[in-house]
Each structure stands twice: as C-alpha cells, then as structure tokens.
Chains A and B, each alone.
Chain A
Amino acid sequence: MVLMKIKHYYAAFNRTIVSDLILPEFIAINAPISKPDITIIVDQVSENGLAEPLQSGAFFQSNREAFWLHVPKVARFLVTHGQQIIIDPYSNVSEEASRVFLIDSCFKALLHQQQYLVLEGVAVEVAAHAVVFLMRTGYGKSTLAALFSKQGYSILTDEICAITRNMQIVPASSMVYLWGNIAKQLNVDIQLSKLVRPGIDKYLKPINFCNQALPIHHFYFVDYHKRNDIEFNTITPSKKFDALQNELCEPSYLKKISHSSTYLSDILNIPMVKIMCPRKHYTMKQMGYIFNEIFSEIEQDMLRKVQNHG
C-alpha cells in the first residue's frame, strides 16, 4: 500500500504552491490546486551537487536552471527550472529545522530561475506604491518591517524582493521572523509565537500584509556609519550605476548568474537614496535596536519623497 502524503496549498509571490511541508509563512489556500506554479516535495537529492555548476561555494552550487544546497546535518535541497524544490532531510531532522532554508535561499533561487530580479530588502506600501529598503543580511530587515507594520503600514516583504520586468515588486510572506530581544524592545508579544527554528531565538510574527504586486516608487540603500546621526543622500543619476554595482543586495550565490544587467535600464529610472544609519551597538543582533530610535526620521523621509514625486 502506498501512503499518500498530505499536500498543503499556498499562495506567495503571485504564484500557487503545493507542498509536502507546512509553510506557515505563506497564505494557505483551502481548495486543492490542480496545476500549481511551484511544487515542493520531499525526495532524494544527490550528495554530489550539480553536473555543471557555474558558481560554487562550500555548501551550494548553482547554474541557470538549478540550485543545489547542502545544510550539513539538516537537509539537501534542489531547486529546478523555477518550478520545483526537492528537500532531502537528514533522518531525525524536523520540518521546522529545515523549513527556513527552504523559505529563504531556495525561494530566492527559484524566483531567480523564474527570471525575477531577486534582491534582499523590505518593501512597504505607501500610496499604492512600494518603497524598497535594500539591506544586507543581518542589517535589521525584520525589525524595520515590524516597525512599519506596527505603525499601520502594509508590508510586501521583509526579505525577498522579487522584482518584475515592469519594476513591480510581488508580495512575499505575511509573516516576519523577529529576534526575541527585538520583539521585547518593540513591545511585540511573542508568547504564543512559534520559533522559526529550534534553538534560534527568532519568532514567526504576522504582519499587516499587502497581497498585491505594486510598482516601485524608490529604493533606499541602507548602510551604517560610525557616527551618531542618520544621513539621507539622494543618489544622482551619474552615480546610480556605481550604487547598483556595489549595493544591489543580490544573494551572493546568484551573482554569477545575475539578471541585473537585463534589468539595468529600468532600475536606473527609479529614484535611489542612500541612508547611513548610526552604528551605536556592536552585535548584529542588537543592530535592529537602531531602527526603533531612528524610525520616525526614516518614515518622514519616505513620506516626503512619495508626496514630492507623486
């Protein structure tokens, strides 16, 4: 007798998903989907990686059609043709322990395979547009998203910015992953929240979610300096190209197969602003605190720019 696996149906990134795993980050669809855009299954994945990788790291390989990832003692993943993700978990590893790698790296690779330009950042809805804060890993994306949500803004994504050719950003997840200490700082109740991954003090929190693709109004490139003030600098057209080269916040494992050159002329038309935030604290986990202190300045600048540019 063959046991049928229970299938779970979701919507995210303007796509339908059928999955062997429960994915609380995405919006559940109650009725089965006959032709899903994306399939996530548990099956075997090769230990040896891809036959012809164009880019390799210590634990990943990628080319234009496939992305192979090995998280030692957790799982192997294979993402192919923008349509399928196979997970091969180590024995005795829970779904919770492997899910976050699927949601993060694997979905970024999958959306890249679907020809989206995939960047890392936060996208907030303002006046039917998306304002995008591009930030590197560990710079406080979830904190910023949680702060905007707390102020009543709708969020399209707190991590994966999947950008279409007509410069729209597609909605990602209705949840943020929030550090326990940051949640405490922001007075966000996490008592009933699930841990994102066992052993990691990060919690799954629902946010005000904008579930439709929106045109990008402007980009912020967020960085830190060793001063106590916050600085906003509009990037002039002549400097935009350099800014894109250095600060686009593409996942590093996709850089050698990047679509950014295809998107270049369209991105250059989008206004860009560099924000230098004060780095008062040392640990990366504490850097999110900074946004709590400077949030109103960021919000004011954002609203001013949206009003001025229509």
Chain B
Amino acid sequence: MASRKGIYWLSSYPKSGNTWIKIFLAQVLSLSGLLDPKRKQLMPINEVESWINDDIAVARAWVNEACGFNTAWLTDDELDNLMPQLYQWYGKQQSKITYHKIHRAYTYLDDGQPLLPTDGCFGAIYIIRNPLDIAISMANHFACSIDDAITMMADRCYALYYYPLRQLLLSWSMHVTSWTDAKGINILILRYEDMLSDTFAIFSKVLQFLKLDVRESIIKKAIAHSSFEALQKFEQTQGFLDKPPMLKHFFRKGIAGDWQNTLSTEQIKRVISDHGEVMRKWGYLNDCW
C-alpha cells in the first residue's frame, strides 16, 4: 500500500496558540512512535522545532533550492505568485505526511488560485483567539505598546517582514475570515479559549481531524507535557530556542481574559470598533459590549 503523503497546516494569527498545538502534536507523534518507531518517548521541547516548524512558510533557503535562483531578486508579489508551484513541488519531495506551522492569511493570487494550494494538502487546523487578549501578547512579542499592537491588528495590509519571506497577515478580522471562509480546503476551526477550558476534548478532536488514532493515555501525557505551566517551567530552567532574542519570556501568561485587567476602556473600544463583527461571530462579544 502506498504511504500517504501531504501537508497539514497549523495556522493562526500570531499569539493565538499555534505553538501550543505544535508542541502537543509533536509529543503525540513522538510518544506513539510515529516519528521514530524505536523511540516512543517524550520529545525534548527544543527538539520540536526540528519536526514541526514554519520553515516552509517563512524560510528562503528551500525556496531558493527549489527555484534554482536567488529569490531575493524577485519582489514579494512576484515570489508570492510562485508559491503555489513551490508548495506543490515541496509536497512531491516528501515521503510522508508533514505538519507545518503558518501565520499567513489565506490569500488568493491575481488569477484566483489560493497561494497555499489545495492539491497535496490534507487540511488545516485554524485557531482563533480573542483579539483583546492577542493585543497584549502582540505588544509583548513585538516589543511595542498595546496601542501600537491594536493599530497593527487593524492594518488591512499588515505583513510580517521579520522573516525572510513576507507573510501577509492582513488585519485580525481579515485573517480570521480568510481562513474560516476558505473554499476547497478541509479545515478544523478551534478557539484558543476552548482549548484552555476543555483541553482533552478539543485536542482529541484535533487528532481525529488529523486521522491519528492515539491511545487516551498518550493524549493525556502529551497534554501534560505541553501545558502552559510545563512550557513556562521549561523555558525558565532550560531556555526555549524558539524565543525571539529580544523577548524576556516566550511563554508569558497563556490565559484567557487578561484584557479585562490590562486594557483601558479606550483600547477595548478600539479593538471592538475594528473587529466587532468578527468577534461577535466567534463569541467574543456579549451584550455588555
């Protein structure tokens, strides 16, 4: 029987729980021997990046290798136009299912085709988080004020240039809508807040979506070793290699609802004014707001 090969995307707007699900999944794959049948054990946190990362979303080396020319000579738009063919080429080089973190919005090229091709893609897990909480995490992550983070999240053309490949995020609302309304792609939509409050059920759903038949004990062990407290403790004692150099901590609070203690009324009103419609759709606005 031919082995299955293809791509699953783990997608979210930045600071929405993507790293959490990435570490959980890596632990499940490792504990169940799907990465290495001889090594059914927990994976050291700093090794997760070697198995599940965002290289094919942000790194230029593989793109240059696939192209045969230095893509720094292309404009960002020119390179975006090549990405569907490059992802298809990448998929063909793989011998198994691969999982990739991504922060890009789900965008389409001028000819109407999606930048992330559906051909060779099994699906995507998309995590939504309350933008009021994201604003605080974004400010910390990008070392800017909360007001600047709110402005960033409202920018309809916002792109991350911190990495070699441009990643168009668009505004938070546009990012959420781009993925949740994406056509032709098999997608599991999760809310970060539900992942926190009902972890076992949601993470079991994730594995079901990924067609990974895993024992309950493995799921529980993977959850325990990817919990926020475990990751925070790990970072404090051993250091987290994925942490951007200018950050003091990558795993900061990891809670839902911090905005109620941190944001000013003015800041809350700005976020709601920018994103109210999408927030309401995903259950982030009650009658008080």
> Residues of A with Cβ closer than 8 Å to B?
57-60, 62, 69, 71-73, 100-101, 104-105, 136-138, 196-197, 199-200, 202, 226, 252-253, 279-280, 282-284
12 A-B pairs in the complex with CB atoms less than 8 angstroms apart: A57-B68, A59-B85, A72-B85, A73-B78, A100-B73, A105-B68, A105-B69, A138-B60, A199-B75, A200-B74, A252-B68, A283-B164
A282 touching B162, Cβ below 8 Å: yes
Chain B residue with minimal CB distance to A100? B73
Q: How far is the CA of A201 from the CA of B88 in the complex (A)?
A: 29
Contacts A101-B73, A280-B245; is A57 near B89 (CB within 8 Å)?
Answer: yes
Whether B67 sits at the interface, judged by CB under 8 Å, is yes
A60 touching B161, Cβ below 8 Å: no
Chain A residue with minimal CB distance to B64? A137
Chain A residue with minimal CB distance to B85? A58
Chain A residue with minimal CB distance to B82? A72
Q: Is the interface of A mostly helix, strand, loop or mixed?
A: loop
Chain A residue with minimal CB distance to B165? A284
A58 touching B89, Cβ below 8 Å: yes
A137 touching B244, Cβ below 8 Å: no
In angstroms, how far is the closest chain B Cβ from the Cβ of A201? 10
In angstroms, how far is the closest chain A Cβ from the Cβ of B214? 34
> Residues of B with Cβ closer than 8 Å to A?
60-61, 64-70, 72-75, 78, 81-82, 85-86, 88-89, 161-164, 241, 244-245
Chain B residue with minimal CB distance to A102? B69
Q: How far is the CA of A57 from the CA of B93 in the complex (A)?
A: 10
Chain B residue with minimal CB distance to A159? B70
Chain B residue with minimal CB distance to A253? B68
Selected contact of B73 from candidates A58, A59, A60, A200, CB within 8 Å:
A200
Q: How far is the CA of A292 from the CA of B244 in the complex (A)?
A: 22
Chain B residue with minimal CB distance to A68? B68
In angstroms, how far is the closest chain A Cβ from the Cβ of B134? 20
Please indicate the chain A residues that have their CB under 8 angstroms from the CB of B78 in the complex. 73, 199
Please indicate the chain A residues that have their CB under 8 angstroms from the CB of B61 in the complex. 136-137
Chain B residue with minimal CB distance to A61? B68
Please indicate the chain B residues that have their CB under 8 angstroms from the CB of A100 in the complex. 73
Q: How far is the CA of A73 from the CA of B241 in the complex (A)?
A: 39
Q: How far is the CA of A62 from the CA of B162 in the complex (A)?
A: 33
Most chain B CB neighbours (cut-off 10 Å) among A59, A60, A279, A283: A59
B69 touching A282, Cβ below 8 Å: no
Selected contact of A282 from candidates B81, B89, B163, CB within 8 Å:
B163
Q: How far is the CA of A71 from the CA of B67 in the complex (A)?
A: 8
Please indicate the chain B residues that have their CB under 8 angstroms from the CB of A59 in the complex. 66-69, 82, 85
A72 touching B65, Cβ below 8 Å: no
Selected contact of A283 from candidates B68, B73, B162, CB within 8 Å:
B162
Q: How far is the CA of A123 from the CA of B173 in the complex (A)?
A: 50
Please indicate the chain B residues that have their CB under 8 angstroms from the CB of A105 in the complex. 68-70
Please indicate the chain B residues that have their CB under 8 angstroms from the CB of A136 in the complex. 61
The 4 closest A-B pairs by CB, nearest first: A60-B68, A58-B89, A252-B65, A253-B68
Most chain A CB neighbours (cut-off 10 Å) among B73, B85, B244: B73
Chain B residue with minimal CB distance to A120? B70
Q: How far is the CA of A73 from the CA of B78 in the complex (A)?
A: 9
Q: How far is the CA of A226 from the CA of B247 in the complex (A)?
A: 13
Most chain A CB neighbours (cut-off 10 Å) among B60, B67, B163, B245: B67
A58 touching B163, Cβ below 8 Å: no
A284 touching B85, Cβ below 8 Å: no
Chain B residue with minimal CB distance to A109? B68
A57 touching B163, Cβ below 8 Å: no
Chain B residue with minimal CB distance to A103? B73
